[in-house]
Structure formats: C-alpha cells, structure tokens
Homo-oligomer: A and B are copies of this chain.
C-alpha cells in the first residue's frame, strides 16, 4: 500500500439544515485511512463523486423511502473509483462504482460495488451520464410513468438539469408533438434550444414567461416536473384532460422551511389527471433493457452530454450548493482525486 496516504479528508453531516445547507451543515475531518480490511472488503480511491438534488432530502429527518444520513456520518453519495487494496475478486487497479460517500478513500464490501467498464475513448464520468441514475430516472418517467404518446405536448421543468435534459431529449425521441423546457436563465434556455433540441424554452426568471407559455404552448399532456412549487402550480392550471404529471422531484421545496403550497391541485379532478411520484429504483428489474436503449441513443447523438465539473474534495459542499442555486447546467460531478483530473 505504498501509494496510499495515511490520512484522508472526508465530510460528515454536522447538523441538519433548517432551510438551505450552510457552512455549519457539513464538517470536514482528517482521519486515518484504515490499513487492515476484513476479508470481504476492498479499499477504493474515490475518483468521481456524483451530486444530485435528492441529497437534500437525505439531510432531513422526515419520513422517506430511506433513512436520513445520521449526524456524524460521512455524507452519502455515489461515486466511481479505483481499487487500491484488493479483495477476493476485485484486483488493484479495477475501476468500480458504489456508494462511497464524501471522502477520498472508502472501505466497502466487495458485494456492494460494481465493476465499471469504460469503452475505448470513454470516461468514468459517463457512469453518471445517459445510462446513469439521471438517464434512468428520465427514461422511466417519460415512458412507464408519463406514458408519453406521439404527438402529445411534453413540458419539462428543471430542463437544463441532469434528469430534465434527458427527459426533454427522450420526449423528442418518443415523438412528442412539442417538447417545452422550463429553466432559470438565458444560458440554460440557449442550452435547451441548441443542445437538447426542445421546441420551446422559457426562463422562469423572466417576468412574462407565463403569458408567453399560455400563448405558445397551449395545453399540456405530460409534465415532467423536477421543481415543484410555483411552476407546478402554474402548469396545473394548463393541463389537458387525462394529463399526467410526473413528479420526479421538487427542488424548489428542498431548501426552505416554508415551502410554497400548491393551490391548483383541484384541477386534477376537473381534468381527470394524475400527479404521480416515483423513484428510478422502482424499475430496477428493467434497468438492463433501459440502459441498452439509452446507450444506443447516446451513441447516435440523440441525448445531451453535459457535465458541470467541480474539482477537489474540499469543494463538495459548494458543488452541492451549485445545484440548489441553479449554477449548474447538466450533471454535477466532483473530480475528487488528483488522478481524476484528466477525466472529461
């Protein structure tokens, strides 16, 4: 273990945030890297850490599909890294993905990681691209949950984000009559039109976007929502009969103790419409087929490839904050190790 340092940096949850995470939410610690492992464990150098809006939910002790991160526990996250101390089946140098958390080195059970094969010319970062969690979330949201049919009008909020941009692109692939993106700021609107290929895009920070939306979009069949709040309430007022609202997330509510309350939900009754929540793991049994299709679309250039790349273990809390402030376009990943700085 000559190349493995004795100490590493990690981030633990120090206190639960009331609204948005602050400097006091996470605490940086310098701790020894274990030199002795159990038989079924390996030591992984974390190269890339994936960040996502859903992480905010893991910081709050409110009933959810999985337990929150505990105070004092290393912040939970998915990552890709290299095995630096091998086990029974994994060898030094193997590239693996798993729940490594916010740290430079992770001790994990061999059974809890997956070997990653990077195709020639590919990058480990692509583990968090089209065939990763965001691509899968978009895929099942548009198809199984949203039941998008050719010719229908699809609206996506948070459309320049990791999941949203895939959802919009998959909408085009599936033959939506009109794909409409909603995002914050002119740069994101430009990205949506030029790189994602939406038909219409609106900057929700502009004063008159709702008036323009009403005039240009007409009524909505499927709404793929990542934002919730005021945007969800507005789209509820624009649904067509039998509309499906796919509640992928509600990022507008994550960092506030006083979230915006939805008032237009009675429109669901008037228009026999559905507001359906889901998480991508609901469809785990269908991942192989979905990944195959997503990889094919990516290879054909039909899906956007856009990463918001931040460097260094120290930058993790700030990079998460970028997601909530809307500073990112596309998928946010942190290159944690020096060795990862060459990945693009």
Which residues of A line the B interface, CB within 8 A? 57, 63-65, 228, 232-233, 237, 241, 247-250, 253, 259-263, 265-279, 282
Identify which of B57, B250, B271 contacts A277 (C-beta below 8 A).
Answer: B271
User: Does B268 lie within 8 Å of A276, measured CB to CB?
Assistant: yes
| Chain B, Cβ-Cβ closest to A246 | B269
User: Does B277 lie within 8 Å of A274, measured CB to CB?
Assistant: yes
Bound: A91/B269 CA distance, A:
39
Beyond A259-B263, A270-B279, 14 additional contacts (C-beta under 8 Å) are: A228-B265, A247-B268, A248-B269, A253-B263, A266-B277, A268-B276, A268-B277, A269-B279, A271-B277, A272-B282, A274-B275, A274-B276, A275-B276, A276-B276
Report chain B residues within 8 Å CB of A64: 270-271
What is the copy number of this chain in the assembly?
A: 2
| Chain B, Cβ-Cβ closest to A245 | B275
Identify which of B249, B261, B274, B275 contacts A263 (C-beta below 8 A).
Answer: B261
Bound: A277/B277 CA distance, A:
14
Q: A260-B261, A274-B277 are in contact. Are A266 and B63 (CB under 8 A)?
A: no
Report chain B residues within 8 Å CB of A266: 57, 228, 247, 249-250, 253, 277
| Chain B, Cβ-Cβ closest to A238 | B63
User: Does B265 lie within 8 Å of A247, measured CB to CB?
Assistant: yes
Q: How far is the CB of A230 from chain B (nearest CB, A)?
A: 10
Report chain B residues within 8 Å CB of A267: 63, 277
Report chain B residues within 8 Å CB of A265: 228, 232, 247, 250, 262, 265, 275
Bound: A228/B269 CA distance, A:
11
Q: How far is the CB of A137 from chain B (nearest CB, A)?
A: 10
Q: A259-B263, A261-B260, A262-B261 are in contact. Are A269 and B247 (CB under 8 A)?
A: yes
- 5 pairs of A and B residues whose beta carbons are closest in the complex: A261-B261, A268-B277, A269-B277, A275-B275, A250-B266
Bound: A339/B57 CA distance, A:
63
Bound: A250/B266 CA distance, A:
6
Bound: A269/B232 CA distance, A:
14
Report chain B residues within 8 Å CB of A232: 265
User: Does A277 lie within 8 Å of B282, measured CB to CB?
Assistant: no
Q: How far is the CB of A103 from chain B (nearest CB, A)?
A: 26
User: Does A57 lie within 8 Å of B270, measured CB to CB?
Assistant: yes
Q: Which of A249, A260, A262 has the most CB of B within 10 A?
A: A262
Report chain B residues within 8 Å CB of A228: 265-266
